[in-house]
Structure 1
């Protein structure tokens, strides 16, 4: 976690299957996944990232993903330091 210009920036990375570029925005929508066939293999309903985006935006922040298929993903979000995050 880093704090620059009164903004906290938090990143979480994995070395999973990655997300195709054309699907990276869809994963933040309610009940949406990059590939519905992966829900059978990996589980999930498509609510987690939608909820995270909602909470981050409620605190005045932003969230995004950088991902490469077969390599993994890095999810990053920012929260203004005066937003009540401790």
Structure 2
């Protein structure tokens, strides 16, 4: 498997919301939608693409400390 991580220094995501942010139209905090924008579809689409390639995606985040999103997919050599 190949792992790729992307980190930010944003507002972070409460631990009790980590799973649901990958659901359609869900956001870590719906009250911030107007301030930061977004529809809550981006992570859902990414999760679907990653899973279509036999992978998995997860988040490591803490409120006020940013987030790290990591996904793992089979490497090219796994298909040969």
- Which of 6, 13, 20 is matched with 2:14 structurally? 20
Question: Are 2:37 and 1:43 aligned?
Answer: yes
Number of the residue aligned with 1:70: 64
State the shift of 1:34 in Å.
1.2
State the shift of 1:44 in Å.
0.1
Q: Give me the whole-angstrom Cα distance separating, in 2, the residues matched to 1:58 and 1:10.
A: 16
- Structure number with the bigger relative contact order (C-alpha 8 A, sep ≥ 6) is 2
Q: Which runs of 4+ in 1 moved over 2 A?
A: none
CA RMSD of aligned residues (A): 1.1
Gaps of 5+ in 2: none
Question: Number of residues paired by the alignment?
Answer: 77
TM-score in terms of structure 2 length: 0.92
